[in-house]
Amino acid sequence: MNKPLADRMRPIKLEDVVGQEHILSKNQILNKTLQAGHITNMIFYGPPGVGKTTVANIISNMTNKKLYKLNATNASIKDIQRIVAELDSFMTMNGVLLYLDEIQNFNKKQQQSLLEYIENGKITLIASTTENPYHYIYNAILSRSTVFEFKLLTKSNVIEGLKQVIKRINDEGKTLVEYEEEALDYIATASNGDLRRAMNALELAMYAAESENKEQVFLTIHIAQESTQKKVISYDKFGDQHYDILSAFQKSIRGTDPDAAIHYLARLVKAGDLNSICRRLLVIASEDIGLAYPTAITIVKSCVDAAMQVGFPEARINLAQATLVLATAPKSNSVIEAMDRALADLDQKDIGEIPTSLKDAHYKGASDLGRGVTYKYPHHYENNYIQQQYLPENIKNEKYYGSQNNKMEQRIFSYLEQLKKQ
C-alpha cells in the first residue's frame, strides 16, 4: 500500500524542516544540543502538522540507540513492559530511544511506568503532544524533560514546504509537477499552518491534475480550490486554544482595539461557542468598563439575551454589537479592584465585628442589646446623607473604592467630596 505523500516526503535533515527557527536554527538550543550529540528527554508541544514527528524521526537517526515508536492513543502499559523486557539485551546495549506520540492520552499510572527507566537513563523519551504539557503531563516526567514548543507555521513556511516536496517529486523523474503560484498560495492559506493538511491537499490536487500519460501534472488555482477542504480554524473547547482566544478577545476589548476584538469574536463565532462568548462579554462589562460606563452591562445583557434567543448564525450580529460597545467604551477596573481589595482584607486582617448601630434591629429585645440604637437614617438628613461609621472598628479607615480618570467616575468623586464637606 502506498504511503501518503506527507509520510513519503518527510525531511530527513534538520535544515530541510520548514519553520521552527526559534528552536532549530543554528544558534538555538535544540539544534546546538543535537549537533553536540547530547540527546536528552524531550517533550515536543504544538499544533498538528508543524514538524514534531519529523524532528523526532531525524533525532532518532542521529543516535545509535534502539528506536521504539508508540502512539499513546492506542498503546498500553503492556507495550511499555515489552520494551522494558528488552532493556540490557544485546539489541539495546546502547539504550533505548522511545518516541511516544500524543503522550497526553496516557494516564498518570501509564506515565509513571516510564519514570524509573527515564531516571536511570536506560530509556530516553521523546514525547509529542498537541495539548499544553503543563496541564496534561505528570510533573515527575516534566521535571526530567525539556519542553520545546513548536509554533504554528506561517503561510510562507507552508509554501516553502510544498515547493520542497514538488522539487523532490520532480527530482525522482517519474512525474513532472508544474504549478501556478496562486495554487500553492491557496492551499497554504486553507491549511492554516498545518503542513500535513497542505500536503494531503497537494496530493489530491496532483491526482486531479494528471494528464493522460500520467507523467505530467499542472496545478491550477481551480484544481487547488476543488482539492482543498474548507479552511479549519484551530479551536478546542476544553484546551489551550479555547482559553487563548478568549484571553485575546478580552485583552483586545480592554485595550480599546475594536478591530482585534471583532477578529477574536469571529474566531469564537466560527467555533460556535455561544456560551463562552456571552459569559465573557458579561464579565468584561463589569471588570473592564464598570463605572466608566455603568449602562454598558445593561446593553450587553440585552445583546446576550437576544443572541441566546435567536442562536447562530444571527446571534453573531448581537454579539458584534456588544463587543463594539465594550471595545469603544471608556475603561475602568475600579469595580474589580475594590472587590478584590475587600476580599483580600477578609483573608489577611482581623476585621472585627459589624458596628452595633448597623446590626439588625427588627426584633423584640434588639434595643436592649444596643442593636441599631445609635443608627442615623440618612433620608432624614439634607441630601440624604449623614456622616457615621459603617466599616468595622478594626478597619474603619480602609479605602476600597478609588475613582478613576473618566467622566463618570470623576462626577462620582465630586459628588462624594461635596457630601463629605457638607
Tell whether the torsion through CA atoms of 21, 22, 24 and 26 is positive or negative. positive
Q: At what angle do helices 258-270 and 315-328 cross, to 10 degrees?
A: 150
Q: Which residues are within 8 A (CB) of 411 and not within 5 positions of it... i.e. 6 or more apart? A: none
Write down the mean pLDDT value for the chain: 87
Mean pLDDT of all residues in 150-154: 89
Mean pLDDT of all residues in 222-250: 73
Tell whether the torsion through CA atoms of 35, 39, 45 and 50 is positive or negative. positive
Q: What is the pLDDT of residue 302?
A: 97
* Residue in the block written with cell 467622566: 407
Of 197, 130, 207, the closest CA to residue 162 belongs to: 197
Q: What is the pLDDT of residue 24?
A: 87
Residue type, 317: I
Tell whether the torsion through CA atoms of 179, 185, 188 and 193 is positive or negative. positive
The C-alpha cell that represents 321 in the structure block: 454589537
Categorize the per-residue pLDDT at 273 as very low, low, confident or very high, splitting at 50, 70 and 90. Answer: confident
Cα–Cα distance measured from residue 149 to residue 140, given in angstroms and rounded to the nearest whole number: 19
DSSP 288: I
Q: What is the pLDDT of residue 314?
A: 93
> What pLDDT, in 10s, does the model give residues 112-127?
888 888 888 788 899 9
Q: What is the pLDDT of residue 240?
A: 57
pTM over 0.95: no
Q: What is the pLDDT of residue 230?
A: 61
Q: Which residue ranges make up each domain of the chain? A: 20-149, 155-227, 240-328, 349-421
Task: Tell me phi and psi for residue 342, to 5 degrees.
Answer: -65, -40
CATH number 3.40.50.300 given to 20-149: yes
Q: What is the pLDDT of residue 236?
A: 55
Of 328, 319, 288, the closest CA to residue 301 belongs to: 319
Cα–Cα distance measured from residue 144 to residue 108, given in angstroms and rounded to the nearest whole number: 15
> What pLDDT, in 10s, does the model give residues 220-231?
888 888 877 665
pLDDT for 182 beyond 80: yes
Q: What is the pLDDT of residue 289?
A: 95
Q: What is the pLDDT of residue 163?
A: 93
Tell me which of 55-64, 125-134, 149-158, 177-186 is least confident.
55-64
Considering the four listed CATH numbers 3.20.20.220, 3.30.430.20, 1.20.272.10, 3.40.1450.10, the one that applies to the domain covering 240-328 is 1.20.272.10
SS3 breakdown of the chain: % helix, strand, coil, rounded to 5? 55, 10, 35
Cα–Cα distance measured from residue 180 to residue 220, given in angstroms and rounded to the nearest whole number: 5
The Cα diameter of the chain in Å comes to 106
Total Cβ atoms within 10 A of residue 390: 9
> What pLDDT, in 10s, does the model give residues 371-406?
888 899 999 988 888 889 989 999 999 999 988 998
Of 240, 151, 152, the closest CA to residue 191 belongs to: 152
Q: What is the pLDDT of residue 327?
A: 95
Cα–Cα distance measured from residue 418 to residue 355, given in angstroms and rounded to the nearest whole number: 25
Mean pLDDT of all residues in 63-85: 84
Q: How far is CA 188 from the centre of its chain?
A: 22
67 and 93 Cβ atoms separated by less than 8 Å: no
Cα–Cα distance measured from residue 162 to residue 184, given in angstroms and rounded to the nearest whole number: 7
Tell me which of 4-8, 59-63, 69-73, 294-298 is least confident.
59-63
Range list of H helices, 75-120: 77-85, 108-119
Q: Which CATH architecture has domain 349-421?
A: Orthogonal Bundle (1.10)
Considering the four listed CATH numbers 1.10.1450.10, 1.10.8.60, 1.10.10.10, 3.40.1230.10, the one that applies to the domain covering 155-227 is 1.10.8.60
Q: What is the pLDDT of residue 107?
A: 86
